[in-house]
Amino acid sequence: MSGSGYGKTVIDGVIQYLSPSGITCGDPTQAGGCERRWYYKYVLGLKEPFTGSQRIGVDAHTQIEKYLESGEDCMGQIARSARQFFPPLEAGMLLEHRIGKDDLKVAGIRVVGHIDLVLFEKNHVEVLDWKTTKSIKMWAKRSQDLIKTVQMALYAKWAQSFLGFDAVRISHVYMQTQGRPQADKRSVILSAEKIEKRWEEIEARARILSDIAKETDILKVPANRNACSDFKGCPRRNICPITTKDKWPALFAGLRETPKKTNGLSIIDELKARKTK
């Protein structure tokens, strides 16, 4: 899979770089996250469709960036709804900042990405991401949950380690795309300790993805059944081989990998016995 001009993500079983969206895709703790989906996308190189919702988001981002860069207002009503959260045009800021080649590594792997807005305050730096959503009420995250996203954790680590700030504010500004145009901001300041703790989890996830990248049998790549229907549904549902083991992983915990009869009971018999207990 090639993305944003960086080339293939995985070559000969070795990850060349990781992006926030890439790690999110392969993290079962994130909405829509599934290691097997990550494998389809980045190891087998199967592109995913670009959705109408993503188009709306890209348009709003472009319009806001243009306004903050030049003062030229070509914003539609979705982008304009967030105007109350724009910094003054003369503020010290970076727009659509591209993370540099050697700026940040996760488990030794280059991190790539573009940060929508970096704002320099007196005692801290703020990293902000513009979000579009059908419903702020339903989908906007709580401020304290922003650090649980891969994206904001990566950006916070970049601001801390590359820019050298101890305290980092992470923010989402949500713009609603359906119903009355409106926007809201969620924001929290993180200490160095909090960023470090979350970073350990992100590094652990990167190491898991490194192992998965070397796999040659897709059936050995864990499937996250909980993610199959997230958002508009996984685009690989029509080809993904979901096995009995994928459907009931807890039932299989502790059972042998190769089904065979023991004590007159097959694996299926053992599973049925467990289910009826």
Which positions touch ligand SF4 (CB under 6 A)?
Answer: 34, 36-37, 40, 223-225, 227-228, 234, 236-237, 240
Cβ proximity to ligand SF4, 125 vs 228, nearer residue: 228
Q: Which long-range contacts (CB under 8 A, 24 or more apart) does 9-15 make?
A: 9/42, 10/42, 10/43, 10/213, 13/43, 13/213, 13/214, 14/210, 14/213, 14/214, 15/42, 15/109, 15/206, 15/209, 15/210, 15/213
Closest Cα partner for 249 from 270, 273, 224, 267?
A: 224
CB of 243 to ligand SF4, least distance (A): 10
In Å, how far are 159, 219, 221, 252, 269 from 216, measured between CA atoms? 37, 9, 9, 22, 31
Q: Please give the span between the terminal C-alpha atoms of the chain, in angstroms, as a whole number.
A: 46
Residue 191 or residue 229: which is nearer to ligand SF4 going by CB? 229
Which CB, 71 or 241, lies closer to ligand SF4? 241
Rounded to a whole number of angstroms, the minimum distance from the CB of residue 6 to ligand SF4 is 23
| Structural tokens at position 236 | 């690989």
What CA–CA distance (Å, rounded) separates 110 from 261? 48
Q: For ligand SF4, give the closer residue by CB, 25 or 79.
A: 25
Residue closer to ligand SF4 by CB (options 35, 116) is: 35
Residue 34 or 146 with smaller CB distance to ligand SF4? 34
Closer CB to ligand SF4, 102 or 217, in the complex: 217
Structure tokens at 161: 């380690």
Apex 213 CA angle, 209 and 214, nearest 5: 125
For the bound state, the minimum distance from the C-beta of residue 227 to ligand SF4, rounded and expressed in Å, comes to 4
Q: How far is the CB of 208 from ligand SF4 (least distance, A)?
A: 15
Output the smallest distance, CB 111 to ligand SF4, in A: 24
Q: Taking the complex as a whole, how short is the minimal distance between the CB of residue 223 and ligand SF4, in angstroms?
A: 3
Within 27-181, residue ranges assigned H as helices are: 35-38, 52-70, 77-80, 136-139, 150-161
Q: What is the DSSP secondary structure assignment for residue 87, as one 8-state letter?
A: P
CB of 221 to ligand SF4, least distance (A): 9
Question: For residue 141, what is the DSSP state?
Answer: P
